Each structure stands twice: as structure tokens, then as C-alpha cells.
């Protein structure tokens, strides 16, 4: 009787047929049981902090007081010229760092995919830049950028370029961060792309060679389309990581956002509002919510537009 009633209700409200099966609910329950640990971890370290940050953004919160202010924190940051400058610097950093790093990583991956001498050493040396602690890497680049005796100005002097005050001139502060970031992440992205290159079946290249395709035509018509899953993955993680740049700037400029805040990004602005300056966590939380919204929208855009061009073997 119960089963007949369920089938009758199912036909009436278009309930899927599998919902009437016990095995379906048993398998579904086991599936949710398996993902429960991961969901618990995400709830504690991702979902709860996010909703807490959103709630905090509606308060004027200091170490001594906490007052509900509604949307005033958002009104403050949207009227703050330093917020808009930090937002512009962030987009400037992302707009140059992401495509240039990806392009260079493609070239390096193609080079490392060939039969060269000391190939294992070359692959390891490219990846070392990424696995080395970022603080140590940044301190080395501080010496390279030194405008009086740094190696970078020394090499540029060979081409007649005058001394550049990389870390003291507002015109070169953010480009200095971009150059260092490109150098650091090219190896990491190249290793991921190299794994994708080695997974492409050789028969595609043999077919292209038989058809008389040149090396560049093969690379453009065969390699790039079949490498799009890895390119898409690298592009997404690179974009998200670039929006969150902070440590490199903090160490490179000794705890400051560069001369006249010329290298201040959105994450640095958040830290300055919440911890370095006025310690107004409400404003910092509001800026964090804005940053989350930007990253979320960009990720959705990538999923809708970029993923349509991904080719799977």
C-alpha cells in the first residue's frame, strides 16, 4: 500500500522513478556519509569564516567596542580613494601577471618537453623558484632590485639604461612585484603544462606530420587545443592567486605598500584596515566581502566562457 501510494504521488508530482528504490536511497546516504568529513572541514574553515566576515562587515568593531552600523562600512570603503587605488593596482597586477606568466610557462613547458641534455636538472631548477619559501625569495629580490649595487641595474647598465630605483620610485614599485611574481610562478605553471604535454598521444603529431603541417601549425592546431584542460586549470588558479597577492609586497617593501602606497593591493588594504592601522575590522571585513565577490564573478565568467573552449581527449 505504501509503495503504491508513493508511486501515485510520484506520478502526480513528477517524482523520479528511482526515488522509489531502496537501493537508491542507500547509495545516496553512503555517498553523503563519505563526503561528510570534507563538508565538516569546509564548514569550519570556509563557510563559517565567510558568513562571520559578512556579519562582521555590518559592525563597527574595534578591540574594545562593537556597534551595529549596517552598510556604513561599505559606504566608507567605496568613498575611500585608497580602496579604489588598491583595486586598480590589483587589476593592474592581475592583468599583466596572469597572461604573461601563462605565455612564458607555455614556452618553457614546450622546451622542457624536448630531448635536451641535463633535462632533469632543468625541470628541477624551474620548479625550485616556486617551492622556495616566498619570504626567502623576496629578500633575494630585494638585493637584486637595489638601485645602487643590485644585479638587475648592473645588467641593464650594459644596455645603457640608467639606474632605476625599483623599490623607491612609485612608477616602478608595482612592476617590480610583477616581475618577481612572473619569475616565481613560471616554473610551477610550466610543470603542470608539461604534464599535459606528455599526456598527448603521439599519433596526433604523426598525423599532422603526414599532412605536411609545419612545427608552428602543429603547435597551434594540435598542441594548444589538446592542452586546453591544463591551460584552463592554470589560468583559474593563477587568477585567483593573483587577486590575493600580499606577502611579496609586504616583505619587498619592509611592511609598507610601497612608496605613496603605489603597490598596495586589495589584500594589503584589508590588512592595513584591520591590523596595521586603525584596526577597524568591520571595514576590513567589508573589503574582504568585496574581494570575494570579485573572485567569485571572475570564476563564474571563466566557467561559462573559457570552459566552452576546453577540448578533452
Q: Which residue ranges make up each domain of the chain? A: 19-56, 72-309
CA distances from 138 to 102, 104, 130 (A): 21, 21, 12
How far apart are alpha carbons 95 and 92 in whole angstroms?
A: 5
Phi, psi of 67, rounded to the nearest 5 degrees: -130, 130
- 308 pLDDT band (50/70/90 cuts)? low
Residue 18 has pLDDT above 70, yes or no: no
- 15 pLDDT band (50/70/90 cuts)? low
pTM > 0.85: no
- 261 pLDDT band (50/70/90 cuts)? confident
- Residue 91: CB atoms within 10 Å: 15
Q: Where are the alpha helices (DSSP H) in 48-117?
A: 48-56, 72-79, 81-112
Residue 302 has pLDDT above 80, yes or no: no
Enumerate the β-bridge partners of residue 66. 61
How much is the pLDDT for 63? 67
What is the mean predicted confidence (pLDDT) over 183-195? 90
What is the mean predicted confidence (pLDDT) over 87-97? 94
- Nearest-Å Rg of the Cα atoms of the chain is 26
How far apart are alpha carbons 221 and 151 in whole angstroms?
A: 41
The CATH code that applies to domain 72-309 is 1.10.3720.10
pLDDT over 70 percentage in the chain:
88
List, in sequence order, every beta strand (DSSP E) within the chain: 59-61, 66-68
Q: Specify the range with the lowest mean pLDDT, choosing from 73-87, 186-200, 213-227.
A: 213-227
Q: Residue 105 half-sphere exposure, CB side, CA atoms within 13 Å?
A: 32
Q: Residue 42 half-sphere exposure, CB side, CA atoms within 13 Å?
A: 5
How far apart are alpha carbons 269 and 263 in whole angstroms?
A: 10
Residue 307 has pLDDT above 80, yes or no: no
How much is the pLDDT for 294? 92
How far apart are alpha carbons 216 and 133 in whole angstroms?
A: 37
pLDDT over 90 percentage in the chain:
31
- 8 pLDDT band (50/70/90 cuts)? low
What is the mean predicted confidence (pLDDT) over 249-259? 90
Residue 154 has pLDDT above 60, yes or no: yes
- 142 pLDDT band (50/70/90 cuts)? very high
Enumerate the β-bridge partners of residue 60. 67
Closest CA to 94 of 186, 174, 192: 174
Most confident of 90-99, 121-130, 269-278, 295-304: 90-99
pLDDT digits (tens, 9 = 90+) for 209-232: 888 888 788 888 888 888 888 888
Q: Between 75 and 3, whose confidence is greater?
A: 75
C-alpha cell belonging to residue 113:
618537453
Taking phi first (over 0 means left), then psi (-120 to 50 degrees means alpha), and beta for anything else, what does residue 14 get?
A: left
Amino acid at each position: 500500500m505504501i509503495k503504491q501510494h508513493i508511486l501515485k504521488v510520484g506520478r502526480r508530482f513528477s517524482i523520479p522513478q528511482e526515488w522509489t528504490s531502496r537501493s537508491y536511497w542507500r547509495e545516496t546516504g553512503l555517498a553523503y556519509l563519505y563526503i561528510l568529513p570534507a563538508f565538516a572541514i569546509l564548514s569550519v574553515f570556509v563557510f563559517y569564516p565567510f558568513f562571520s566576515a559578512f556579519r562582521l562587515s555590518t559592525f563597527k568593531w574595534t578591540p574594545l567596542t562593537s556597534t551595529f552600523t549596517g552598510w556604513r562600512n561599505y559606504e566608507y570603503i567605496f568613498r575611500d580613494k585608497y580602496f579604489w587605488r588598491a583595486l586598480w593596482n590589483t587589476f593592474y597586477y592581475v592583468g599583466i601577471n596572469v597572461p604573461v606568466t601563462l605565455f612564458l610557462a607555455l614556452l618553457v613547458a614546450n622546451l622542457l618537453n624536448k630531448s635536451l641534455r641535463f633535462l632533469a636538472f632543468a625541470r628541477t631548477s624551474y620548479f625550485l623558484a616556486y617551492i622556495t619559501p616566498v619570504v626567502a625569495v623576496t629578500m633575494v629580490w630585494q638585493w637584486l632590485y637595489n638601485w645602487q649595487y643590485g644585479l638587475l641595474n648592473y645588467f641593464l647598465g650594459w644596455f645603457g639604461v640608467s639606474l632605476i630605483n625599483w623599490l623607491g620610485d612609485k612608477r616602478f614599485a608595482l612592476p617590480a612585484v610583477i616581475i618577481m611574481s612572473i619569475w616565481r610562478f613560471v616554473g610551477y605553471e610550466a610543470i603542470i603544462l608539461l604534464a599535459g604535454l606528455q599526456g598527448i598521444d603521439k599519433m596526433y603529431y604523426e598525423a599532422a606530420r603526414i599532412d605536411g603541417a609545419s612545427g608552428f601549425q602543429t603547435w597551434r592546431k594540435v598542441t594548444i587545443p589538446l592542452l586546453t584542460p591544463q591551460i584552463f586549470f592554470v589560468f583559474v588558479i593563477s587568477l585567483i592567486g593573483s587577486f590575493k597577492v600580499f606577502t611579496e609586497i609586504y616583505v619587498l617593501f619592509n611592511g609598507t605598500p610601497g612608496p605613496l602606497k603605489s603597490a598596495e593591493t586589495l589584500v594589503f588594504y584589508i590588512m592595513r584596515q584591520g591590523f596595521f592601522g586603525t584596526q577597524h575590522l568591520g571595514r576590513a571585513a567589508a573589503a574582504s566581502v568585496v574581494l570575494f565577490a570579485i573572485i567569485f564573478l571572475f570564476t563564474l565568467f571563466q566557467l561559462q566562457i573559457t570552459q566552452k573552449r576546453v577540448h578533452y581527449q
